Structure formats: C-alpha cells, structure tokens
Amino acid sequence: MDWYSIVKFLHVVSAILWVGGGFVLFLLGVLAERAGNIQDKLQAMRASGELGGRFFAPMSMLTLIFGLIMCGFWVGFSDLWIIIGLVGYAT
C-alpha cells in the first residue's frame, strides 16, 4: 500500500465520519424539537454542542487536510471537482 492510498483512505474515512456527524447533529435537533419538556430539549442541545465541538469540527478539518495533502503531492488543484469541494468547504 503506497502513501497516496493511505492518505486517500484517511480522507474518505474522515469525510464519512464528518457527514455522519452532521446527520447525528440533525437527529439531535429533531429530538430536541420533539421533546415534550424543557429538560429534554436542553439535554439534546447540550449533546449537539458537545458533538459539534469535539467530533464534527475535527472531522471536517481532517477531511480538508487529507484532501489538500492528496492535491498538493499527487493530483493538483486543476480538477473541477476539487475546486467545487474547496468552494463548498469555504462556504
């Protein structure tokens, strides 16, 4: 297994965890909305804050870093899908 395959694997795994973390944040928001009392809403909001800061943000940064490593050393920044991904991340 070469370095490119390892970096690509890490990029894909971190992207899957990033999207999965976003999905879990969405589910926590739905649970907070459906909660009957204020304590359940606050608990769901607290959990989403914890997950967002400790998991969602680091996974997005790792996805970007591994993608930039792949582009910088092997692929380059000329492909359209790379530009679209960087613009999407910036927004």
What are the residue ranges spanned by the domains of the chain? 3-90
pLDDT tens digits in sequence order for the chain, 91 residues long: 888 899 999 999 999 999 988 888 888 778 778 877 788 778 877 888 888 888 888 999 999 999 999 888 777 788 888 888 889 888 8
CB 25 within 8 A of CB 51: yes
| pLDDT on residue 85 | 84
| pLDDT on residue 41 | 79
Instruction: Tokens for 33, please give them.
Output: 């909305």
Side chain identity at residue 84, one-letter code = I
Q: What is the pTM of this model?
A: 0.76
